[in-house]
Amino acid sequence: MVGSGDDGTHGSPFAPPPWIQPHSSTLPATGAWRPGDPLGQRQFMKMAVDRPFVLEGGGQLRDITVAFETWGRLNADASNAVLVCHALTGDSHASGPAGDGHPTPGWWDDVVGPGRPIDTERWYVVCANVLGGCQGTSGPASSRPDRPECYGPDFPVVTMRDIVRTQARLADALGIWRWHAVVGGSMGGMQALEWGVMYPERVARLAAIATCTAASAQQIAWWSTGRRAIALDPKWRNGHYYDAEPGDGPHAGLALARMVSQVTFRSDDVFTDRFGRSPVDPLAGRFEMWQRFEVEGYLDYHGGKLARRFDANSYLLLTKAMDLHDLSRGRGSMHAALARISAPVLSMGITSDILYPEYQQRELADSVTAAGGVAHFHEIDSPNGHDAFLIDHQQVAAALVPFLESTHHE
């Protein structure tokens, strides 16, 4: 029986057992990759330091490092480069196995690789950790210029446009003037769309999956609850937790933020099929407050897993960046913003997505067309919810492969 004090650490039937708050006495205060950690497949670009990088939200950064990975070979005229943009908790490791420096296999390993839909024998694929992230690119867990301490909560608010500008600098450094394609799902799709609007001449094709032209009120509501979960954790310490002892970081708050989002990432159907009402622990004739159903064990697992590999302040920053995502901001109107896109747009939506509902991707395609562009909508028919873009790779491939091969508009 669970939660009834069997382990002697909690005497009341209400007191949550330790797994409720996935602390581990050995868990570092942040799951960020930090200098000195194994590099894995990471490469690094240091952006020029001649003048500060001024962010859209008004903040400034004096030095920026971008961590990225590449696969395949850039051809002589640099015409085969594909930029893959990652989602909220992704990183540069889009493809490849887990290993030193990469706690998990590539987040799109079924899609990116030799002989796979984004075939690295043909395309030169680049994936960069986003600005404000925690896997090698400058973010709250990074040291300040010329000082040992982290930015922590002083890292300025970033937007998709700031992220895309760092990616454009990376493209410059790699000698890529024009991407054959920019591809991304969820937050990655927001970046792909900003690429199309900010640098129309540098994008030959744009594939945006399960994303939106501007965050809706419901999306803001979801992400804001995650931020409040982190702020509620006393171990978050207003963002100053990097010197905390192992096990004393804001893991519980970050895990709770992830649990909420994990529900929005999947669907009612898939939860019913996978978990139903099965208990983790048999009810055994007595009901206890913290007995778990299987779905709760699943959420705890995903919450704890993210706490091991992510940084709470980056979670705050990047969810805020998604809430601030609005292609129309400062551009007159959404129509005017979308009219800047010259690349053909492949917009993909997922039938069961409750976080970025399919109608948003249909609207994206319709709005690009209405603004004079070329757009095609492709439906991913899946019960897997928002995460289908990471799971149903064959359906992603069915639209993505011919789109990458297409020669129109080049």
CA distance 318 to 315: 5
Does 152 contact a copy of itself by CB under 8 A?
yes
Does 277 contact a copy of itself by CB under 8 A?
yes
Q: Give the count of residues interacting with a copy of itself (CB under 8 A).
A: 73
Number of continuous H segments (helices) and E segments (strands) in the chain:
11, 12
Tokens of 327: 């292609």
Does 317 contact a copy of itself by CB under 8 A?
yes
Q: Out of 92, 186, 267, 314, which one is annotated catalytic?
A: 186
Tokens of 377: 């909508």
Q: Which of 32, 47, 53, 56 binds a copy of itself (CB under 8 A)?
A: 56
Q: Which of 2, 27, 74, 214 binds a copy of itself (CB under 8 A)?
A: 214
Between CA 251 and CA 256, with CA 253 as vertex, the angle to 5 degrees is 105
Does 354 contact a copy of itself by CB under 8 A?
yes
Does 20 contact a copy of itself by CB under 8 A?
yes
CB of 267 to a copy of itself, least distance (A): 8
| Neighbouring-strand partners of residue 338 | none
CA distance 277 to 99: 36
Query: Which lies closer to a copy of itself via its Cβ, residue 170 or residue 299?
Result: 299
Does 148 contact a copy of itself by CB under 8 A?
no
Does 175 contact a copy of itself by CB under 8 A?
no
DSSP 62: S
Does 220 contact a copy of itself by CB under 8 A?
yes
Query: Which lies closer to a copy of itself via its Cβ, residue 3 or residue 113?
Result: 3
Does 13 contact a copy of itself by CB under 8 A?
yes
Q: Out of 386, 387, 392, 393, which one is annotated catalytic?
A: 386
Does 327 contact a copy of itself by CB under 8 A?
no
CA distance 106 to 197: 28
CB of 245 to a copy of itself, least distance (A): 17
Helix (H) or strand (E) holding 81: strand 81-85
CB of 46 to a copy of itself, least distance (A): 25
Does 221 contact a copy of itself by CB under 8 A?
yes
Binding-site string for a copy of itself from residue 288 to residue 307, where x marks contact by CB under 8 A and - marks none: xx--xxxxx--x--------
Tokens of 253: 């708050």
Q: Which of 27, 39, 157, 168 binds a copy of itself (CB under 8 A)?
A: 157
Q: Is residue 186 among the annotated active site residues?
A: yes
Does 323 contact a copy of itself by CB under 8 A?
yes
SS3 at position 71: strand
Residue count of the chain: 410
Amino acid at 209: I
Q: Is the dihedral of CA 27, 31, 35, 40 positive or negative?
A: positive
Q: Which of 231, 244, 280, 401 binds a copy of itself (CB under 8 A)?
A: 231
CB 27, CB 305: distance < 8 Å = no
Stretch touching a copy of itself by CB under 8 A, among 29-37, 52-60, 120-128, 197-205 = 52-60
Q: Out of 91, 233, 353, 387, which one is annotated catalytic?
A: 353
Q: Among the residues of 250-387, which ranges form H helices?
A: 251-265, 268-274, 294-309, 312-324, 334-339, 358-370
Binding-site string for a copy of itself from residue 232 to residue 271, where x marks contact by CB under 8 A and - marks none: xxx---xxx-----------xx--x--xx-xx---xx--x
CB-count exposure of residue 136 (10 Å: 0-12, 13-18, 19+): buried
CB-count exposure of residue 319 (10 Å: 0-12, 13-18, 19+): buried
Nearest of 55, 286, 273, 84 to residue 187 by alpha carbon: 84
Q: Is residue 386 among the annotated active site residues?
A: yes
Amino acid at 166: T
CB of 214 to a copy of itself, least distance (A): 6
Q: Looking at the annotation, which residues are catalytic?
A: 186, 353, 386
